[in-house]
Amino acid sequence: MSEQISAPWAEQAVTEAEEDEALGRRPGEEHRSREEEVLARIERARARKPRVKEERITLAHGSGGKATHTLVEAIFLEHFRNPLLEPLEDQAILTAGGVRLAFTTDSYVVSPLFFNGGNIGDLAVNGTVNDLAVSGARPLWLSSGFILEEGFPVADLERIVQTMAEAAAAAGVQIVTGDTKVVQRGKADGCYVNTAGVGVLERDIELGAARVKPGDAVIVSGPIGDHGVTVMLARGELDIESDLASDTAALNGLIATLLDAVPVGVHSMRDATRGGVATILNEVAKAASVAVVVDEASVPVRPEVTGASEILGIDPLYVACEGRLVAIVDGSVADAALAALRSHPLGAEAAVIGHAADDPPGLVLLRTSFGGTRIVDMLVGDPLPRIC
């Protein structure tokens, strides 16, 4: 048996937590039960200023979960900080010459590039259109930036670009500027795409996760997890065959239908991409300081997605969609919003999956189909990397 050494990072974590704990303790908390005291201590630890502890970027930093949030807040927000960026929504809302604009950007690194129901080109157009549309804006113009690996087949590139043109036409946007870079073989994986987009806010509404209130209804526009599972199966590592197709779609038409029918009462909209519905609901719960209570039996999930998730040991709530809207609306307009969504082809299977409550703030709770309850936390890393 050899000598034991200590793990410096672990000892340091204990010391830091003890110091933070000594600083963060508030008076009047002594009467709590042991369990409540511990839970309060954890909440204080979670409220600590985020800090990237790793020396290098790992895949978890790209997952959309806790590690991504820590990276964004500790590095990007820390240095770029300004009031337009601070809400950390999917898009920034800008005013120029009296016109309200929505502006966003997104990069696409999905592997494989082609999968059942679409390819990276669909994602690049629809993803950016959706990030604009969920603010209530009408998406108008997109840019496209390509990073190509030496040796990438021109035929594949043309297929992707053709798809982007079709997707843009379908969504009613124009691709008006772009950029191309090529890197040496081995320095990238085939083809990465970046798109940015601009839209105009013509409606007199302001949406945002922070506007969600207790009593609001949580609606999803269709079955969740189709995209993530489709891409996973397309990688061929599991030897499972299925007809499942990606749900990639531009949501601006669906959103316009919703906002036309329900001009007042929509509080927040997101498209459930990386990290899935669970991640969005956690962001909302945190931003609005509300609880979000989800009824598992009401969440629409296709049997293929449930089955693949069981095999992979993942939860469909965390699996990416590329054409699913999560709308959080005032309880009084929930029925009207649901009817409006269902009147549109992309929202035919829309469902109310839960509601916001005032207590416990910041947490997402799930009433399981089995009849129990549990917390749905944000994941640390992504179970399925490079999904979009």
Partner 1 sequence: MRFVDEFRDADLARALATQIAGLCEPGRKYKFMEVCGGHTHTIYKHGIEDYLPEAVSLVHGPGCPVCVLPMGRIDDAIAIAEQDDVILTSFGDMMRVPGGRGSFFDSKAAGTDIRMVYSPLDALKIARQNPDKRVVFMAIGFETTAPSTAMTVLRAKAEGLENFSIFCNHVTIIPAIKAILDSPDLRLDGFIGPGHVSTVIGCRPYHFISHTHGKPLVCAGFEPLDVLQSVYMILKQLTEGRSEVENQYSRVVPWDGNVKALQVINETMELRPYFEWRGLGFISQSALKLRDSYAAYDAEVIFDVPGVRVADPKACQCGEVLKGVIKPYECKVFGTACTPETPIGTCMVSSEGACAAYYNFGRFTRKRVMEVTSA
Question: Can you give the binding site for partner 1, defined by CB under 8 A?
Answer: 1-11, 13-14, 16-18, 20-21, 34-36, 38-39, 41-42, 44-45, 53-60, 66-67, 70, 237-238, 291, 293, 303, 306-307, 310, 315, 357, 359-360, 363, 365, 367-375, 377, 380-381, 383
Read off φ and ψ for residue 72, nearest 5 degrees. Answer: -60, -45
Nearer to partner 1, 90 or 315 (CB): 315
Alpha-carbon distance of 253 to 199, in angstroms, equals 14
Alpha-carbon distance of 314 to 5, in angstroms, equals 35
CB of 273 to partner 1, least distance (A): 21
Nearer to partner 1, 180 or 373 (CB): 373
Alpha-carbon distance of 276 to 162, in angstroms, equals 28
CB of 18 to partner 1, least distance (A): 8
Nearer to partner 1, 345 or 360 (CB): 360
CB of 70 to partner 1, least distance (A): 8
Give, in degrees to the nearest 5, the angle at Cα 189 between 186 and 192: 130
Distances (CA, A) of 251 to 102, 300, 342: 15, 18, 13
Task: Give yes or no for a cis peptide into 153 (omega within 30° of 0).
Answer: no
Nearer to partner 1, 30 or 204 (CB): 30
Question: Any idea what DSSP says for residue 77?
Answer: I
CB of 118 to partner 1, least distance (A): 25
Nearer to partner 1, 48 or 181 (CB): 48
Nearer to partner 1, 162 or 373 (CB): 373
In the sheet with 217-220, reading across from the earlier edge strand, the strands are: 266-271, 325-329, 217-220, 351-357, 291-295, 364-367, 373-375
CB of 13 to partner 1, least distance (A): 4
Read off φ and ψ for residue 302, nearest 5 degrees. Answer: -70, 150
Residue that the structure tokens 């179970």 belong to:
383
CB of 2 to partner 1, least distance (A): 5
Question: Any idea what DSSP says for residue 345?
Answer: G
Nearer to partner 1, 52 or 161 (CB): 52
Nearer to partner 1, 35 or 204 (CB): 35
> Are 59 and 380 within 8 A, CB to CB?
no
Query: How would DSSP label each residue in 264-299?
Result: S-EEEEEE--TTHHHHHHHHHHHHHT-EEEEEGGGS
CB of 221 to partner 1, least distance (A): 23
Residue length of the chain: 388
CB of 377 to partner 1, least distance (A): 5
CB of 258 to partner 1, least distance (A): 27
Residue that the structure tokens 């991504």 belong to:
68
Q: Which residue from 199, 140, 149, 198 is spatially nearest to 173, judged by alpha carbons?
A: 140
Strands 114-115 and 174-183: unpaired
Nearer to partner 1, 269 or 293 (CB): 293
Nearer to partner 1, 199 or 383 (CB): 383
Query: How would DSSP label each residue in 46-101?
Result: HTSPP----SS--GGGGSSSHHHHHHIIIIIIHHH--TTTTT--SSEEEEETTEEE
CB of 382 to partner 1, least distance (A): 11
